[in-house]
Amino acid sequence: MDPARLMDLARPMDLARQWREGAARAVSRAVPGDVLWYVKTAAPVFALTFDDGPSPLSTPGLLDVLARHRARATFFLVGERVQAHPGLVAAIVAGGHEIANHLMRDERSVLIPDPRFRLDLARTSELLAPYGPVRWFRPGSGWFTPRMLRSAAEQDLRAVLGTLVAGNRDQPADERIARNLAPGIRPGSIVVLHEGGPERRGVVRTTDELLSSLAGRPLSAVTVSDLVAQAPVPGGNR
């Protein structure tokens, strides 16, 4: 097929991918609660985040990729895995990245009774405290309730979700993740990727492909805290 024709066919797909980011922002504005989904900024930066680590199967590779691309990220870490791999947490911080709270276990936080939710949130922050400050938490599977947000706020934690989310599954579709995400990323986006188990080892390659595809655009990956600092005025994020 004529290459020009291929480009014409690709444009609607790129537009659809860009629309997904805009639609996610619109939906987030209708959801009640103090949750950070994205940041309103014209600065050429977006937040890159990883859930469910640390993992010896993926975290070292991710740190190598991020260093090569001079990118920064926020790692939402699971307490049990922090206990099992303290050296990886130290390596994340040493690489200039941010750590955040993803509770004690890789499970749906919305199903946890409030007393255990509070304990798990506090215990995970306690485990992370020796490595640096913790400002953010992300509920497991992304679902939350007002009760969870209140409990987190009492522990000086704010919920962070995102507008672009993907997970590697060790399947052929993994090869399309970076290609599908890249067109939708724009200033202020928060991108959510996942590491953890063996099926997610491909996140290292996905991250490399994603950052490589963005190299030609004036758009840099930063931590959530650095992204929030780009908000032009207080309340300039959602």
Distances 67 to 2, 8, 13, 60, 167 between C-alpha atoms, Å: 39, 35, 31, 11, 22
Residues involved in catalysis: 51, 194
Please tell me whether the peptide bond between 54 and the residue prior to it is cis, using omega within 30 degrees of 0. yes
- Please name the amino acid found at residue 151: S
58 touches 206 (CB < 8 A):
no
Provide the strand spans (E) within 88-185.
Answer: 98-101, 136-137, 158-160, 164-165
**Rounded-to-integer distance, Cα 97 and Cα 99, Å:** 7
How many CB atoms lie under 10 A from the CB of residue 113?
Answer: 8
Alpha helices in 39-128 (DSSP H): 59-68, 79-84, 86-94, 114-128
Measured between alpha carbons, how far is 77 from 80 in angstroms, rounded to an integer? 9
Collapsed DSSP state (helix, strand, coil) of residue 160: strand
